[in-house]
Copies of this chain bind each other. A is one copy, B any other.
Amino acid sequence: MIKYPNGQKFEPIKAKERKSKKSKEDISISASNRGMNLEEDINISNEWYKERQIALITKRPTPINIVKVDYSKGARIVDAYFEKQSTTDYNGVYKGRYLDFEAKNTKSKTCFPLSNIEKHQIEHLKNVILHGGIAFFIIQFQLKNEIYLLDASFVIHFYENGDRKSIPYEVFKKEGILIKQGYNPRLYYIDAVEAKYFKK
C-alpha cells in the first residue's frame, strides 16, 4: 500500500484522470531530482540567505594541484589534478558566530555510511568545536527525501567509536533537526541552525 505524504491511500487512476495525476507525479519526480543535487541546493540557498542579509556562508573552492600552466595562452592550466578537501565544503558567519559544515547524501534508508568522510575533515570539525565554532553535517537521505542537520559531535562519536562505520537513521530522527525544503530557499537550513544552536 502506497501512502502519499498527505496521508491519502493509493487508488487506481481512471483513464481520464490519468493525465492530471501524471503531472502531479512529474512535480514529485522533479522535486526529487532537484533534491538529488544537494550541493547545488545549498549553494542557491546560500545566495538567498546572503541577499536577504540573514547569513553569509561560502563554499570553499575544490582544491586543485596545478602541474603546468601555459602562459602563451594567457595563463591557461594545461595539467592539474584534484586534491582531497582537507577541511569541509562550507563555512561562514551567522549572528557573529563561526559556522562550518559538510554536506553529504546517501541512498541508504537505514543509515549514513561514514566511508566518504575523511579523517582530515573529522579533525577539522573537532578543531572548529574546540575554538567555539558551530560544526555540523547536512545529510540527505535521498530515497526518503529528508535532509537533516546533525551536530558534528555525533558524527565524530560514531567515526571514532564502535565497529560499524555508519550512523543509524534513528540517530538523525532523534538528535538531528529536519531541514524544511521549499522553492526559495530550497533548504531552510539556517532555521535549523537557529533552532539547534541559538534558541534556549
Contact = CB atoms under 8 A, between A and B. Distances in A.
Interface of A: 50, 53, 55-56, 58, 60-64, 66, 74-82, 87, 91-100, 124, 127-128, 130-133
Nearest to A132: B96
A131 B98 contact: no
A131 B173 CA distance: 31
Contact of A56 (B94, B97, B131): B131
A62 B60 CA distance: 9
Contacts of A80: 64, 76-77, 80
A127 B56 contact: yes
A58 B77 contact: no
Contact of A96 (B58, B79, B98, B127): B98
